[in-house]
């Protein structure tokens, strides 16, 4: 997992050939005006725009992805994300949904990060995460970067 500001994102561009396009998308000035849901960026690179009330840890599950890296970027509000190393997880609640590339777990996070506007949180397949934790409304973008 990487937690940093979008201003420093180019430091991580070499980690995946699609990171530069993902970071360029996140720097768009019109992100807040994009409709909720999926926005295609370039080939298999896409973003999910979400806005809604945050959850409590009791309402949320840990999640993992096999084929995509998540880049979380908060537009407004403040989000807490729980984290746990994937090898330390118990069994999944069900097999990975191949359509959505997500598996869920009842585990509790081992660490917590706070993501405010202007920040990015990058979660790789080895990072289980519990997103969208907040006591208020969160407007965010998650760029889905294929693992290459």
Query: What domains appear along the chain, each with residue ranges and CATH number?
Result: 2-28+35-146 (2.60.120.370)
Q: What is the mean pLDDT of residues 57-78?
A: 98
Mean pLDDT of the chain: 97
Q: Which of 10-19, 89-98, 106-115, 133-142 has the lowest mean pLDDT?
A: 89-98
Mean pLDDT calculated for residue range 79-104: 96
pLDDT the model gives residue 32: 95
Distance CA 14, CA 86 (A): 23
Q: What is the predicted pLDDT for the residue at 148?
A: 84
DSSP character string of the chain: -EEEEGGGGGGGGGGSTTHHHHHHHHT-TTGGGSPSEEEEEETTEEEEEEEEE-B-TTT--EEE-SSEEEEEEEEES-EEEEEEEGGG---BSSS-BTTTTBEEE-PPPSEEEEE-TTEEEEE-TTEEEEEEE-SSEEEEEEEEEE--
Please state the pTM of the whole predicted model.
Answer: 0.96
Nearest Cα to Cα of residue 102 among 61, 51, 134 = 61
Q: How many CA atoms lie within 13 A of 100 on its CB side?
A: 10
Mean of the pLDDT values across residues 123-137?
98
């Amino acid at each position: 997992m990487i937690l940093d500001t979008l201003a420093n994102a180019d430091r991580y561009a070499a980690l995946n050939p699609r990171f530069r396009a993902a970071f360029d998308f996140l720097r768009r000035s019109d992100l807040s005006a994009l409709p909720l849901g999926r926005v295609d960026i370039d080939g298999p690179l896409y973003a999910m725009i979400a806005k809604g009330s945050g959850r409590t840890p009791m309402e949320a599950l840990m999640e993992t992805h096999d084929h995509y890296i998540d880049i979380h970027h908060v537009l407004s509000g403040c989000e807490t994300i729980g984290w746990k190393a994937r090898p330390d997880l118990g069994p999944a609640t069900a097999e990975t949904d191949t359509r959505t590339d997500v598996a869920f777990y009842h585990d509790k996070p081992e660490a917590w990060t706070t993501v405010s506007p202007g920040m990015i949180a990058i979660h790789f397949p080895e990072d289980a995460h519990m997103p969208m934790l907040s006591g208020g409304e969160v407007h965010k973008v998650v760029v889905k970067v294929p693992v290459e």
